[in-house]
Homo-oligomer: A and B are copies of this chain.
Amino acid sequence: MTWIVYLSGEIHTDWRQQISDGAKAQDLPVVFSSAVTDHEASDAAGDVLGSESNQFWRDHKSAKVNGIRTRTLIDKCDVAVVRFGDRYKQWNAAFDAGYCAASGKPYIALHDEDIVHALKEVDASAMAWAKTPAQVVEILRYVTKAQ
């Protein structure tokens, strides 16, 4: 069995790459999926449908186009990793965590210790809290390859 791992959240550091590299190094039977992580492309996802003078509607259209991708990929994944960095609001990451919780989709929360209190509801529904990408890789190794 190949496990599908959805990587949600922060797009400003290379945590996705670290997890992907770590999985490859250990030859884990996993494939990764994700939202589009090119910030500008993501914000412009709906522009092809016509330009908007109003920021709210431009965001609305783009967020819905992105939603076609993200909901489908979350629904198809076996486990998600939800990453919270030290900048920005990252409400979309928390939104994805809530979506996973309601769908019975297991997820691993990935964040530093200093935001533990603010993330207590997100962590309470998570299957694990990891502080580093390396820990995530180790959890994935155990889950997919231990006997």
Contacts and interface: CB of A to CB of B under 8 A. Distances in A.
B63 A142 contact: no
Interface string A44-76: 011011100011110111111111110110001
A89 B72 contact: no
Contact of A102 (B36, B78, B102): B102
B121 A63 contact: yes
Contacts of A127: 64-65, 67-68
Contact of A147 (B38, B50, B139): B38
Copies of this protein chain in the complex: 8
Given A60-B123, A95-B122, A71 B142 contact: no
A65 B127 CA distance: 6
A38 B146 contact: yes
Interface in A119-140: 119-125, 127-131, 135, 138-139
Nearest to A61: B128
Given A59-B120, A93-B94, A95-B101, 11 more contacts: A3-B72, A38-B147, A54-B57, A60-B124, A65-B127, A65-B143, A67-B106, A90-B91, A91-B93, A91-B119, A98-B100
